[in-house]
Structure 1
Amino acid sequence: MQTRCCRNTTAPGLAALGLLLALCAPPAVAGDCPAQLRIGVIDYELRPLLLAGERTATAQGLLIDWVRQAVSRSGCALALSFERMPVRRGRVELERGNIDIWAVALVDAGLYEQGALPMPRGLPDAMLGFYRASYSLYVLAGETRIGWDGDKLSGPADLSVGIAPVQALVDLSRDKGWTVDRAVDTPSALAKLLSGHNLAAILPDLAIAAQAPELTLKLHRLPPPVLTTWYHSPASKPFAARHPAFIRSYWLELCRIGRAEQRETLPCREP
């Protein structure tokens, strides 16, 4: 898929080039436009990508805007519907083809079977992840019994680490041999940490950074991050098979938009 070039008379730096590319819209995906797009969205807050709200409320946040922009840049005019749902249900609905796209996901082994991802060499393409995400260990401010050096976690013998229902975090914790308390979602994992139910929790750094100052002052982050990876937006396999040109355009443009917003200098590879 070729894109139109934006005219520029100067040689931009890498950051400026990323922003420039994000403004370059591709031509219409001729003959491959779906009539509608059913998009599943996690039902909890992940600021700034997704804002809080009731499950029945309209999904809002940067990610919703980016999805709309990515679809618009394909040149296709289609109806978009967003439905908020728990992660487990969303991945089941994706596998069954009841939704066309699951808006945001961390890649794990199960996702390869449940959905379609840009995988030019049999692995998720980091050059098409749309947002760099990091997850870190957090403890309450003033907690001195727990240590993390990037490899080993030390603390009381009965230490339990709270985690959100993210399979990549489950797998990582299992590999480390950590005892975990799996919360229903990220806000629940944070609440359990704040209440003292867990002495430590693995939480997304972007979500914690977006919290109110009075809350973040209660927390202490233990560097380095436990996990740094890219968010992807997988499609259902039937949808990707029916509309290969459209989904390639969607992945590429979502990558460009998200990286421009983060001021990422790493370019997006065309699928």
Structure 2
Amino acid sequence: MALPTPIRRLPAILLALSATAAWALDCPARIRMAYMDAPAEPFFLGRGTVGEPPGLFVDWALQALAATGCNSRVELARLPVARLDKALSEGDLDIVLGVASTSEREQTQAFPGRHGKRLLYVARADIALYTALGDRLVWSGQTRELKGYKVGVARAQMPANLAASQGWALELAPDNASNFRKLESGRVQVLLETSILADPYFQAHPLPGIRKLNPPLATLEYYAPASRSFQRDFPAFTEQFWLQLCRQSRTVLRELPACNAG
């Protein structure tokens, strides 16, 4: 599939650290990398195009690439989530940043080792409900407790799929920032959001009565999966990139467990 233009090409010097690294033997000449086109602060900044600064996740990825010792040319693009999945699954992208692991994605995309062998996720977040009703809304994890409420959720993201499976009345927003504003304006009284985005937002923009409801509906781990063809062609590089990306994330997300290389 044709990817959108412009694609941001990064100077190779930003990614060079040591050409003598053992795993540099299978360095790719080019890496087609992409991430979602909607903002998800502070991880992805701006909308639609690769901007400056691009956000934490992109910074971590570039630092991780430098740490591999590879002198690869990186092409960055932004796409809607559904197109990211399709392009990666079909081998039209090499790496996608900030994607949650799901059983469906693991059937067509390459993720770090699973089943407790590694702790190489880059971020971890609860999918949780937020309300500005304070203690007036009772939640113990039962779907029926939200009967009569409209739940705000960002479309084309994992919380939207989860909310739809609950049978709730939904108010769809184009992105997370718009979803937050709907709660602030009173258009909805309940949101379903990822905690890694919602918690810092509501700390920076306090809202009277705001409360995160427990228990969460799910907990997700976020990675930078590769296409299966890319992992097959550059297995050592891909493993090192995943390890270095995990280590970069821990410089900020220090509450997460140490990266376990197996």
Q: Same fold (TM over 0.5)?
A: yes
| Equivalent residue number for residue 135 of structure 1 | 127
Question: Does 2:252 match 1:258?
Answer: no
One-letter code aligned to 2:217:
V
Partner of 2:217: 226
* Aligned counterpart, 1:185: 175
Q: 2:64 is aligned with what amino acid?
A: A
1:64 matches 2:55: no
The residue number in structure 2 matching 1:206 is: 196
Instruction: Point out where structure 2 has 5 or more consecutive residues left out of the alignment.
Output: 1-19
Distance 1:232 1:265, change over 3 A: closer
Cα distance in structure 1, aligned partners of 2:209 and 2:91: 40
Does structure 1 conserve the Cα–Cα contact (< 8 Å) formed by 2:131 and 2:213?
A: no
Q: Deviations over 1:186-243 (max 9, x none)?
A: 2232233334343211122232344376733256123323333321111111111111
In structure 2, distance between residues paired with 1:158 and 1:73? 52
Instruction: Give the Cα–Cα distance (whole angstroms) in 2 for the partners of residues 117 and 38 of structure 1.
Output: 17
Provide closer, same or farther for how the CA distance between residues 221 and 179 of structure 1 changes in structure 2, counting only shifts above 3 A.
same
Aligned length: 241
**Counterparts in 2 of 1:167 and 1:156: CA distance versus 1, 3 Å:** closer
Q: What SS class does the counterpart of residue 250 from structure 1 fall into? A: helix
Give the counterpart of 2:85 among 63, 67, 91. Answer: 91
Q: Report the Cα distance in structure 2 between the residues aligned to 1:50 and 1:218, rounded to whole angstroms.
A: 27
Residue 266 of structure 1 and its aligned partner are, at CA, apart by: 1.9
Q: Which amino acid aligns with 1:215?
A: H
Alignment of 1:98-177 (within 5 A): 98-121=92-115, 127-140=119-132, 142=133, 145-149=136-140, 151-153=141-143, 155=145, 157-165=147-155, 168-173=158-163, 176-177=166-167
Cα RMSD after superposing both structures: 2.8
Structure 1 residues 219 and 253 mapped into 2: Cα distance closer, same or farther (>3 Å)?
farther
Cα distance change on mapping 1:44 and 1:168 into 2, 3 Å: closer
